[in-house]
Amino acid sequence: EVQLVESGGGLVQPGRSLRLSCTASGFTFGDYAMSWVRQAPGKGLEWVGFIRSNSYGGTAEYAASVKGRFTISRDDSKSIAYLQMNSLKTEDTAVFYCTRGPYRGNYAYWGQGTLVTVSS
């Protein structure tokens, strides 16, 4: 069974940093791209970025709203994907979901989400 478990969320002050982790199980982690999608309170889904599998270069893509501040990385030996968030803003407050893929352009597996609150 595919499982994705996010951790690392919490309350952080504006301008500070936070790192989220996504621990995966139930599939060969290294074979898949991994993504982060966020949802501000009461709002819709916003794609944050993804990291390709190492077979496809292990490179990452980001949404314009986070490019230069957020970095996605992966440790295939531990089956963990990371989201390093720097220079956080109040508008980054959201539930952050880890997802497997995109695979064939979509996301069939999602974690339960972790809440990040950016506030002074």
Partner 1 sequence: EIVLTQSPGTLSLSPGERATLSCRASQSVSSTYLAWYQQKPGQAPRLLIYGASSRATGIPDRFSGSGSGTDFTLTISRLEPEDFAVYYCQQYGSSPPITFGQGTRLEIK
**Measured CA distances, 54 to 17, 30, 65 (Å):** 26, 7, 25
CB of 96 to partner 1, least distance (A): 11
CB of 38 to partner 1, least distance (A): 11
Give SS3 for 52: coil
Q: For partner 1, which is the closer residue by CB, 106 or 120?
A: 106
Q: For partner 1, which is the closer residue by CB, 29 or 97?
A: 97
CB of 11 to partner 1, least distance (A): 20
Cα dihedral 77, 7, 94, 81 in deg (nearest 10) = 0
Q: For partner 1, which is the closer residue by CB, 61 or 76?
A: 61
Contact residues toward partner 1 (CB under 8 A) are 35, 37, 44-47, 50, 61-64, 97, 102, 104-108, 110-113
